[in-house]
Amino acid sequence: MSRNAESTAFRSALEVIRAVEPRVADAIGAELTDQRESLKLIASENYASPATLLAMGNWFSDKYAEGTVGRRFYAGCQNVDTVEALAAEHARELFGAAHAYVQPHSGIDANLVAFWAVLADRVESPALKKAQVRQVNDLTEADWFALRRELGNQRMLGMSLDAGGHLTHGFRPNISGKMFDQRSYGTDPATGLIDYDRVAEAAREFKPLILVGGYSAYPRKVNFRILREIADSVGATFMVDMAHFAGLVAGKVFTGDFDPVPHAHIVTTTTHKSLRGPRGGMVLCQPELADQVDRGCPMVLGGPLPHVMAAKAVALAEARRPEFADYAQRIVDNAQALAEGLLRRGAKLVTGGTDNHLALIDVSGYGLTGRQAEQALLDSGIVTNRNSVPQDPNGAWYTSGIRIGTPALTTRGLGTAEMDQTAELIHTVLTQTTAGANADGTPSKAKYTLDPALADKISRQATDLLAPHPLYPGIDLS
């Protein structure tokens, strides 16, 4: 697409929106401005291509399409079949997967499809039939216990939240923690790395139905061959959630033992993050689980989103191009350069560095909580998110860590030299921020002090750093 065509497309869209609700058009324009001016270091965010964005705004949004390709509950879905089949084809070819299901609306939905696919042989239990006639939110802990017992009291073993795991890997506040009796494996306290011998020991003791690999805040590679061997040793299904690092798998940065697709029975992912597509989810699986996975709608999902599946097809086609592999490698190069820049300046990083797209700063060394550090950086034009560190004394809300990632800045074209400058900006903000106190004089985990003049200076420096790398240079909304 030519730059003129991109500008015309988005300006025209905003004009149409503005005629109905100008405040929405203003918010869309303001979001582009904000993203252009901020150093985006949120590891789970990226920038989709104009083609991917435009693929979501069309008449596919008007279609109901429950079912799967060629087996719909609504008539007139022949064009939906086309884009869904294309998205699945691109996914299979890109990841070397036997089967791909591209309907999930999010990573959580993808995980739910995977969980229920594994449990499918037991879903006709009397307890579940009884539960179906009640509101899920009304079920008590005793109800969930009885339901799990009817389902075989199935167990899930996954990485703990403070070690870098995800809420959907069996933790009580999430539905996965109500479906399964869950136990966590952590990391070595001395190194922050997965201790596979301890995972094997936990699996032998706990005997889970599902062993979950994958993470949202673990800065190292994972050996999926070893985890599959552990799963096989106890008869568990091996599931990998690769939502964060799917782009590194697609770009062949992670291969062999570090590519989950050849080793796992079932793999889930989002399609944004490092994969740089639209917000959505996807499931890849071995042939024996394909029929159950394809029942995700209506088992777990409502109607598919055909316009998002169209955008998935576009993004996955982009990821199959040779230049995507170069992009994926630059993500890791940039993350390592950013980590090295922080370490040289005295920052403490979980595991002492990174092998992937993210790093985790333990900000307790700066005398701050994650919440204080996150807000101080945001005041300075640097967008991050707070995150727990292993054995975090501040819990999951205030935290002691800041998670940073490089997929978005790499999309903009920043390289390793700019990562060192970014490390300097981060370090300056954190060293100049001091923890505040509550009204009664006790230490606050949220309040902080940062000179507004310094925050403004860093923000301008961040904008200057981004200036040679404009975001969506082909789009001019003026």
| 73 and 158 together in one domain | yes
Q: Cα–Cα distance between 271 and 261 in angstroms, integer?
A: 15
| 111 and 217 together in one domain | yes
- Number of folded domains that form the chain: 2
Are the beta carbons of 314 and 349 closer than 8 angstroms? no
The domain in which residue 452 lies consists of: 326-466
**297 domain-assigned:** yes
The model's pLDDT over 382-394, given as tens digits with 9 standing for 90+, comes to 999 999 999 899 9
pTM score of the predicted model: 0.90
Q: Which H or E element spans position 126? A: helix 126-132
If DSSP codes are grouped into helix, strand and coil, which group holds residue 164? coil
CATH at 264: 3.40.640.10
- More confident position, 407 or 154: 407
**9 domain-assigned:** no
pLDDT value at 182 more than 80: yes
| 160 and 63 together in one domain | yes
SS3 content of the chain, % helix, strand, coil (to 5): 50, 15, 35
**478 domain-assigned:** no
**44 domain-assigned:** no
Task: Please report which confidence band the pLDDT of residue 153 belongs to, taking 50, 70 and 90 as the band edges.
Answer: low
Q: Cα–Cα distance between 301 and 340 in angstroms, integer?
A: 43
**130 domain-assigned:** no
Which range is least confidently modeled, 92-101, 136-145, 217-226?
136-145
| 209 and 226 together in one domain | yes
Average pLDDT over residues 432-453: 94
| 178 and 310 together in one domain | yes
Average pLDDT over residues 278-291: 94
Pairing verdict, β 401-405 and 385-387: antiparallel
pLDDT value at 330 more than 70: yes
CATH at 437: 3.90.1150.10
Domain end among 286, 319, 352: 319
Among candidate residues 344, 345, 323, 303, the one with its CA nearest the CA of residue 252:
323
Peptide bond into 390 cis (omega under 30): no
Among candidate residues 317, 361, 343, the one with its CA nearest the CA of residue 102:
317
| 271 and 340 together in one domain | no
Phi-psi region of 402 (alpha: psi -120 to 50; beta: other; left: phi over 0): beta
Among candidate residues 45, 53, 80, 22, the one with its CA nearest the CA of residue 358:
45
**36 domain-assigned:** no
Q: Determine the pLDDT at residue 130.
A: 55
**Which residues are known to be catalytic?**
64, 66, 241, 270, 273, 279
**50 domain-assigned:** no
Among candidate residues 93, 44, 34, the one with its CA nearest the CA of residue 277:
44
Q: Determine the pLDDT at residue 301.
A: 87
Q: Determine the pLDDT at residue 133.
A: 45
Q: Determine the pLDDT at residue 139.
A: 63
Pairing verdict, β 281-285 and 358-362: unpaired
The model's pLDDT over 47-74, given as tens digits with 9 standing for 90+, comes to 999 999 999 999 999 999 999 998 888 9
Q: Determine the pLDDT at residue 173.
A: 72
Which range is least confidently modeled, 47-61, 75-89, 170-184, 292-306?
170-184
pLDDT value at 102 more than 50: yes
Task: Please report which confidence band the pLDDT of residue 4 belongs to, taking 50, 70 and 90 as the band edges.
Answer: confident
Q: Which two tokens stand for residue 477?
A: 């909304």
How deeply is 122 buried, as exposed, middle or buried, from its count of CB atoms within 10 A (0-12, 13-18, 19+)? middle
Average pLDDT over residues 260-288: 96
Side-chain half-sphere of 26: how many Cα atoms within 13 Å? Answer: 3
Among candidate residues 162, 160, 159, the one with its CA nearest the CA of residue 387:
162
Q: What is the mean pLDDT of the chain?
A: 91
Domain end among 301, 319, 337: 319
Beta strands in 45-204 (DSSP E): 67-68, 71-72, 99-101, 155-159, 181-185
* 358-362: strand order across its sheet: 358-362, 401-405, 385-387
| 304 and 404 together in one domain | no
The model's pLDDT over 119-152, given as tens digits with 9 standing for 90+, comes to 874 454 445 455 544 454 566 777 766 666 665 5
**64 domain-assigned:** yes
Supply φ then ψ for residue 155, to 5 degrees.
Answer: -120, 150
